[in-house]
Structure 1
Amino acid sequence: MTSRWGMTVPLEGIPLPDQRAVIERMPDQGYTDLWSAEAGSTDAFTPLALASVWAPDLRLGTAIVPAYTRGPATLAMSAATLAAAAPGRFALGLGTSSNIIVERWNAVPFTEPYKKVRDTVRFLREAFTGARVKADYDTFSVQGFTLGAVPPQAPPILVAALRPGMLRLAGREADGAIINWLSAEDVRTVVPYVHEQGEGKEIVARIFVIPEADPDTARGIGRRAIAAYLNVPVYRAFHEWLGREELAPMWKAWEEGDRKGALAAIPDAVVDELIVHGPAGYCRERVAAYVENGVTTPALAPILPPGADPARAVRALAPRD
C-alpha cells in the first residue's frame, strides 16, 4: 500500500472558505496530499494557498496547470510563490490541458502540445535557480527574465501525460507523471513508458470516485462524466490508443450530434473500469489496485450525487478515520 493518499480540492458543494474545517481534519484521517484541479471553476493555486495554512502537514500539488494559459514568467512566479509559502511541500503539475480549455475558453492556439510542455519544463528548471533566462525555445522565447523570489527549495515538476510521447517526456525531463481517466489495469500499460529512463519517478493518478452510491446512480453519474471528457480529442485519442473499442458507438453517436444516444452507448463495464464506485471499503480496495499496478500517489476525485455531503465522502474514503 502506498504511503501517500491524496484528495482533489476544492471540494465540490462547499463554499471555498468553509472547506477549512474539512481540510484541517484530513491529516488525522490519513490523507497526505491535496491536488488541485483547474478547468472552469477555481484556479489551481488559490485553494492550495489556503490549504497550506489550514493543514501545514499536507503536501500540495497542481493537477494540472495548463502550459498555455499563463505566460512562462507568470507561471514561474506563481509556482515559486507557493513553493516559498509551503517549503518542501509543493509539486507543480503541468500539462497541455485540452483544445476546449486552451482554444475555446482562453483564445490561445493549441499548437505543438508536446513541444510546448517540454519547453515550459526546461524554462522552469532554469528559472527556479534564479538564473537570468535568455533563450529561444521552439514554442516561445524568453528575453532576460530573472525570478526575483527564488524559493528555498525548487518544486518538483510533474507532467500530465496520456500517450507514449508525453509519458516518456515525464520520465526523461520531469520528476514524474500525472495520469488521468484510466482504469487500474491501464496503469500497467502507461507506467513503463515513464520508467524507461530509470525507476524512481512519481506517478500521480487522479481517480474518479463515487462512494456509497447505488450502482444505477453511480453509473448514471459516471456516464455523464465519461461523455463530457472522453469525447474531447486528447482523451478520445488516449482511449483509442489503449484499445477501448467499446467506446466506438459513443464516439459515433456524439459525432452525429446524438447526445442521448452517446450516453446510452457507454457500457456498464466501461463505467465500472474508469469510475470507482460502491461501498467505501470497496472503493479503497479499488484505489489500492491502482497502487499495486504502479501508482505512487492516488489523488481521489469524488463525483457526488446532488445533495451528497462532500465532507462525508472525504471521511468515507480516508485510509483511517
Structure 2
Amino acid sequence: MARDVFLPVAAQPSVDTLVEQAQTAEELGYGRAWLPETWGRDAVTTLTSIAHGTEEIGIGTSIMPIYSRSAALIGQTAATLQEVSDGRFRLGLGPSGPIVIENWHGKDFDNPLKYTRETVEVVKQVLSGERVSYDGEYYDLDGFRLRCDPPERMPQIDAAGMGPKSVELAGRFADGWHALMLTKDGLRDRLADFDHGADLGDQDRSDQEVTVSLTCCVDENRERARRLVKQHICFYIGGMGTFYRDALARQGYEELAHDIADNWDDGDREEIVAEFPEDLLDELAVAGTPEECRDRIDEFEAIDGVTSASVSFPRAAEQADIQRTIETLSPDN
C-alpha cells in the first residue's frame, strides 16, 4: 500500500514552500506528491520546480482541469513533465466544476463525461508519438504528432470522479481513479462502479490504481484539528457548487448536504461547522490526535481495491499543521 501526499490546495507562501513540502515528503518515504490546479499557481510550472528539487518521489496532477487546456496541449505537457522528472510523472485529469470552469476560465461546462473520455483518448494518442487522428464530438484532429520524442515510458493517466458514471468511465478508459470526499461505504460503492468500468473496457484491474484523497489534520489539540477539517468539508459542500453536495447526498446524507449548501452563504458558518456530525467526520476524513489519525488512515487503506491514500490538508491549515501532519502520517513513521 502506497501513501502519497496531496500538496495544499490553499495558497502557500511561495513555489519554494511547495518544493520544500515535496522534499520533506520524499525524505519521509511518501510515494508521490500530487498537486491540484485550481485558481492559484499553475501545476505545470510548480511540478517542474518540484521535479528539479527532488530525486525519487513521484509527481502528479490531481487534478488538471480538462477544460482549461486543449487535449493535445495536455498531452504535450504530460510528455514534458515525464521528461523533466525522469519518468516520475502521473497525469490526473478531471472536469473540475462549473463554478471554476465558467467563472474563472470562461468556458462552458458542457457534458463532462464525454469531454473527459475524449480528453483521455486524445492524450494517449499524443503520448504514443504516432500521428493523432481523432473524430469525436469535441475534438476533430488529424495531421500532427509530437515534434519531440515521445516518453520512453508513457505516463499513466488517472481520471477523477465522484458519481457512479464518472467513476465507471475512469475504470473503462483510464489507468486509475482519484476518489475524494467519500465515506468508507461510499468509497466501496464507487469501487464497484470502477470495477464495472474496468470490465467494460477490458482493462487489467490489477494494473489500475485507486487513490483516495483524505483531508488530514493532526494536532494534540483534538478539537482544533477536527474544527479545521469540518470547516474544509463544509466549504466544499456549501461553497463549491453542487458536485460535493450531491456526492454527500448520494451517500445517505441528503438532508444534511442540502442544509449546509442552502445555509452556507446566508447562515452562521461557525454554527454550521460546529453542528457537523462527529461520526460523519470520521467517515470522510482523518482529524485528531496523532494516535487516532494513524489508526484512522489505516482504516481507509484497508479497504479492498484502494491502492494508495493521499494525505491532504484543510484549507485553513497553517505551515506547522502541514508539517506536523506530514511527519505524523508518513509511511516511515
Gaps of 5+ in 1: none
- Alignment correspondent of 1:235: 244
- Alignment correspondent of 1:59: 58
- Alignment correspondent of 2:129: 130
* Separation (CA, whole Å) in 2 of partners of 1:213 and 1:153: 44
Task: Using the TM superposition, give the Cα deviation of residue 41 of structure 1 relative to its aligned residue in structure 2, in angstroms.
Answer: 1.8
- Alignment correspondent of 2:209: 202
* Separation (CA, whole Å) in 1 of partners of 2:116 and 2:165: 11
Contact 1:187 1:290 in 2 (8 A): no
* Separation (CA, whole Å) in 2 of partners of 1:209 and 1:77: 33
Residue deviations 1:237-259 (CA, integer Å, cap 9, x gap): 2222222233332233248x325
Closer, same or farther: CA 18–160 of 1 in aligned 2, 3 Å: closer
- Aligned pair count reads 318
Comparing 105-114 with 39-48, greater Cα deviation is found at 39-48
Contact 1:128 1:154 in 2 (8 A): yes
Task: Using the TM superposition, give the Cα deviation of residue 187 of structure 1 relative to its aligned residue in structure 2, in angstroms.
Answer: 1.9
1:296 to 307, 314, 318: 307
Contact 2:66 2:116 in 1 (8 A): yes
- Alignment correspondent of 2:168: 168
Whichever residue aligns with residue 167 of structure 1, its letter is: V
- Alignment correspondent of 1:250: 260
**TM-score in terms of structure 1 length:** 0.90
Q: Aligned to 2:216, what secondary structure does the other structure show?
A: strand
* Separation (CA, whole Å) in 1 of partners of 2:257 and 2:130: 48
Q: Does 1:275 align with 2:275?
A: no
* Separation (CA, whole Å) in 1 of partners of 2:174 and 2:242: 24
Comparing 291-300 with 14-23, greater Cα deviation is found at 14-23
Task: Using the TM superposition, give the Cα deviation of residue 209 of structure 1 relative to its aligned residue in structure 2, in angstroms.
Answer: 0.3
Task: Using the TM superposition, give the Cα deviation of residue 137 of structure 1 relative to its aligned residue in structure 2, in angstroms.
Answer: 1.1
Residue deviations 1:292-317 (CA, integer Å, cap 9, x gap): 11321111112254463533332222
Task: Using the TM superposition, give the Cα deviation of residue 66 of structure 1 relative to its aligned residue in structure 2, in angstroms.
Answer: 0.7
Cα RMSD (Å) of the superposition? 2.2
Task: Using the TM superposition, give the Cα deviation of residue 170 of structure 1 relative to its aligned residue in structure 2, in angstroms.
Answer: 1.0
Comparing 151-160 with 15-24, greater Cα deviation is found at 15-24
Closer, same or farther: CA 127–259 of 1 in aligned 2, 3 Å: farther
Residue deviations 1:65-88 (CA, integer Å, cap 9, x gap): 011111122211111100122243
* Separation (CA, whole Å) in 2 of partners of 1:19 and 1:238: 29
